[in-house]
Structure 1
Amino acid sequence: MGLKAINLTLTKDPLVAFSGAQMVSAGRITLLVRAGNQTAMTEFKIMDLPSPYNAIIGCTWLAAMKVIPSTYHQQLRFPTVEGIMEIRGDQVAARRCYMAALAGKAIAP
């Protein structure tokens, strides 16, 4: 993304990992997130550790965007001025990304 450490607000926010271990963030950054034609300023806590995830979007973003998530259907639905927008997940692509992250390799497009 071209961001540097100077773009971070340094904090020592404690977070609990999925494993239950407590970790401390390396900082936080607020970025404009766009989904379809909707945008929302979103705060991200930066963790200095390997992860198969680029970002974990939480309830604050979901509420700001008025999103209705469906994990079963792997999609997000939210209102826009043009009507209801839908963003669908791609399980095959997600699995490829996850496997590549575990292997420590870059993914070819």
Structure 2
Amino acid sequence: MVISFSDTDFDGVQTPHDDTMVITLTTVNFKVKSVLVDNGNSANIMYYSIFEKMKLGDDSLIPMDSPLYGFSGEPIRVKGAIELPVTAGTTPRQSTIMVRFLVIKLPSAYNLVLGRQNLNTLGAFVSAPHMKMKFPTASGVGEVRGD
């Protein structure tokens, strides 16, 4: 299966831009907006505010003792981890993978951060200039446009 980007993928994109890739994904039948696609990050993050909105409950968290370290080098306490199905794309060109999120209780402009490991699991190619992510599915190439 060939995955490529062309000038038609620029439709609806104002160029030039330096925007981050922010998309909408579905997890546990919940449409989650403001998902940062971060191929430089090895961790998948779920912010506690969306965790609460999804009504998952603290009892569903896997305990974690290790902190995260951000840009500032300061340790960030992890409330726990949770593994959830995440679906990208729309029927019939969609793909669902299991993602292990680290749940942290900090303010953020994002609800989730999808890191490089799960982008690789999806087989995703991200084009920041096109504001689009494409990935293989059983029905052809799936895609998600940046919000």
TM norm structure 1: 0.75
The equivalent residue for 1:83 is 140
The equivalent residue for 2:65 is 12
User: d(CA) in 2 for partners of 1:19 and 1:83?
Assistant: 42
Q: Deviations over 1:16-43 (max 9, x none)?
A: 2244422121110000001122110000
Of Structure 1 and Structure 2, the greater strand share is in: 2
User: d(CA) in 2 for partners of 1:82 and 1:58?
Assistant: 25
CA RMSD, 1 decimal: 1.3
What residue identity is the alignment partner of 2:79?
Answer: A
The equivalent residue for 1:95 is none
Which has the bigger relative contact order, CA under 8 A and spacing at least 6? Answer: 2
1:41 aligns with 2:94: no
Of Structure 1 and Structure 2, the greater helix share is in: 1
1:66 aligns with 2:123: yes
Query: What stretches of structure 1 move > 4 A for 4+ residues in a row?
Result: none
What residue identity is the alignment partner of 2:55?
Answer: G
The equivalent residue for 2:48 is none
What residue identity is the alignment partner of 1:41?
Answer: M
Q: What are the ranges of 5 or more consecutive residues in structure 2 without an aligned counterpart?
A: 1-53
1:57 aligns with 2:114: yes
User: d(CA) in 2 for partners of 1:19 and 1:87?
Assistant: 31
The equivalent residue for 1:106 is none
Percentage identity across aligned positions? Answer: 38
User: d(CA) in 1 for partners of 2:65 and 2:128?
Assistant: 31
User: d(CA) in 2 for partners of 1:70 and 1:12?
Assistant: 36
User: d(CA) in 1 for partners of 2:132 and 2:114?
Assistant: 14
Q: Cα–Cα, structure 1 residues 19 and 75, in superposed 2: closer, same or farther, change >3 Å?
A: farther
TM norm structure 2: 0.57
- Alignment coverage as a number of residue pairs: 90
Q: What are the ranges of 5 or more consecutive residues in structure 1 without an aligned counterpart?
A: 91-109
Q: Deviations over 1:46-80 (max 9, x none)?
A: 00111111110011110111000122222110011
User: d(CA) in 2 for partners of 1:12 and 1:73?
Assistant: 39
